[in-house]
Amino acid sequence: MDSGLRVLAVDDVRAALDELCRLLRAAPDVAETHAAGDALTAVKMIQAEPFDAVFLDISMPGLSGLELASLLTRLTEPPAIVFVTAFEDHAVSAYGIGAVDYLLKPVRVERLADALTRVARVTAARHPAAAPPPRPAPDAMPALPVETDGRTRYVRRGEVKFAEAHGDYVRLHTPSGVHLVRMPISRLQEYWEGSGFARVHRGFLVALDAVRELRSDSVGGLLAHTDLGDVPVSRRHARELRERLLLAAQRGELGRSGR
């Protein structure tokens, strides 16, 4: 959408609404941002003029965000729905209604950008004539060369369950063994974060589809359990990991081998 998205933010808490509007107005994909302090006002605004997307709080007096979303899905050309809430336990219901995304408060700029990208795709699919030609994203480092005893072999990204920092190197943990590659983990993160890997700790990247469960360790820390062992998850990265696993599960992306 060359002209940018036209969005409506709905939240009964004024401070939360103002912050969401501020983030939306700062987003390069957004052309217009409008605000509603309750669901009924939002309904009137949507009936009066079209919006590409509605960013909805769930817990609101009168008509809840889930109830409003259900009403909006009955429109001839419904806006894309993105829920913005402090609660994780409504995600299944939200995606069941057809939400494009589910953001947890406080909203991070990166997650908002992801949501707006999905909104733009939905909007472009409804108006294909207005959509610019798709640009294929380059696949960054689908395999890494590993030098061993004068031989070079290539470890495919899909084989790697997690990567561990080791000085100027990273250890790639795969079912065939552990492979050492000369590369800082921050650089590997740049290459692979868009291909199903998440930074979960200062020294670890994990493949999302390798995570079997999240569990607590003996001192209350969080561990991402994989078939090749447990990966520590720092408090700083715990929330983002939960969000990405939830999204991947909702899209059916967990368990794939096509990374």
In this prediction, residue 150 carries a pLDDT of 75
Could you please state the CATH topology (level 3) that the domain comprising 5-130 is classified under: Rossmann fold (3.40.50)
The CB density around residue 92, as the number of other CB atoms within 10 Å, is 11
Ranges of CATH 3.40.50.2300 domains, the chain: 5-130
Ranges of CATH 2.40.50.1020 domains, the chain: 143-250
pTM for the whole structure: 0.53
Q: What is the DSSP string of the chain?
A: -TT-EEEEEE-SSHHHHHHHHHHHHHSTTEEEEEEESSHHHHHHHHHHS--SEEEE-S--SSS-HHHHHHHHTTSSSPPEEEEEES-STTHHHHHHHT-SEEEESSPPHHHHHHHHHHHHHHHHHHSGGGSPPP-PPP---SEEEEEETTEEEEEEGGG-SEEEEETTEEEEEETTEEEEEES-HHHHHHHHGGGTEEEEETTEEEEGGG--EEEE-TTS-EEEEETTEEEEE-HHHHHHHHHHHHHHHHTT-TT----
Residues 27-37 have pLDDT tens digits of 999 999 999 99
Residues 152-211 have pLDDT tens digits of 889 999 999 999 999 889 999 999 999 999 889 998 998 898 889 999 999 999 999 999
Strand partners, 56: 10, 83
Decide yes or no: CATH 2.40.50.1020 for domain 143-250.
yes
Q: Which of 168, 80, 85 is nearest to 117 (CA)?
A: 80
Question: How far is 231 from 206, CA to CA, in rounded Å?
Answer: 7
Question: How far is 14 from 55, CA to CA, in rounded Å?
Answer: 14
Long-range contacts of 123-131 (CB under 8 A, 24+ apart): 123/1, 123/5, 123/52, 123/53, 123/80, 124/1, 126/77, 127/1, 130/1, 130/2, 131/1
In this prediction, residue 255 carries a pLDDT of 61
Residues 6-15 have pLDDT tens digits of 999 999 999 9
Question: How far is 237 from 243, CA to CA, in rounded Å?
Answer: 10
Percentage of the chain modeled with pLDDT above 70: 90
In this prediction, residue 95 carries a pLDDT of 75
Phi, psi of 206 (to 5 degrees): -130, 145
